[in-house]
Amino acid sequence: MKQNKESRSPLFLLTGLLLGLLLGLAIAWILFPARTVDTSPAELRSDYKEDYRALTALAFASSGDLGRAQSRIVLLGDRDPVRELNAQAQFALLNQDNQREARALGQLAQAMQSLPPSSVPDSVEQPSLLPEAIYQITEEQMLCGDQNGPPLLKIFLLDAEGLQQSGISLSLLTDSGEEETFTGLRPEFGAGYAQFELNQGETYTLSVGEEPVLEGVKAAICEGDGGVHSWGSWLFTLQGT
């Protein structure tokens, strides 16, 4: 009889452990879930996302800054941002009070559509991800048409959960030297944003921290109507694996 009691002891402890575990999970997930702060626009409820998208379009209509509008739209995490803009524009058209908003949404969709990778000449060499990279490319675009300045490399850095990473060191290495910057120095574009100016004729390797990620980065050249060339920018969204 005494032996029976002793042999039940571990089961008795396991029952207590399980009870405690269930109670802890109930408290942590149901009664007092961890308070969430510092979210990104991608986590907004869908109606708030619509407000954010509409305001982005109206701001674009006001400023004409397509690069900035595009950076803001990217923050919403839409799979097909142009489609979302067009769909919201169509919906806004139904309401007489939202005509200006509908036009702005439509204009932004059109402007973003006018910067397709298809305008990239076939001869343009695209940067490639290094096989050992700890990041993956989730978006890659060559931006044409909004360039009055030098060619740029624009980076959005996301963690494995898709949240922008700020304060991360990025360096661009070339034969003639190394440039370093940090994500988040242009907060108007997002905490995970950073950019570099590229020099014509140089080939760069981008590193995140000490880890080389992209190689073969060169100044992008866009081909416009009539074969006119102009500088473009590379836009990469890199997400941690």
Among 15, 90, 128, 169, binds other proteins (CB under 8 A): 15
Confirm or reject binding of residue 139 to other proteins (CB under 8 A): no
Distance of CA 216 to the CA centre of its chain: 21
Q: Which stretch binds other proteins (CB under 8 A): 35-43, 83-91, 111-119, 211-219?
A: 35-43
CA–CA distance, 60 with 214 (Å, rounded to integer): 31
CB of 241 to other proteins, least distance (A): 19
Alpha-carbon dihedral 66, 72, 76, 77, rounded to 10 degrees: 70
44-83 positions binding other proteins, by CB under 8 A? 44-46, 48, 51-52, 55-56, 58-59, 61-63, 72, 75
Confirm or reject binding of residue 43 to other proteins (CB under 8 A): yes
CA–CA distance, 60 with 116 (Å, rounded to integer): 18
Contacts of 29 (CB under 8 A, 6+ apart): none
Which is nearer to other proteins, 25 or 134 (by Cβ)? 25
Contacts of 50 (CB under 8 A, 6+ apart): 88
Confirm or reject binding of residue 103 to other proteins (CB under 8 A): no
Which is nearer to other proteins, 36 or 123 (by Cβ)? 36
Site size for other proteins (CB under 8 A): 51
161-190 positions binding other proteins, by CB under 8 A? 166, 184-188, 190
Structural element, H or E, at residue 143: strand 135-143
Whether the CB-CB separation of 230 and 149 falls below 8 Å is answered with: no
Q: Is the dihedral of CA 67, 68, 69, 71 positive or negative?
A: positive
Binding site for other proteins (CB under 8 A): 9, 12-29, 33-34, 36-41, 43-46, 48, 51-52, 55-56, 58-59, 61-63, 72, 75, 166, 184-188, 190-191
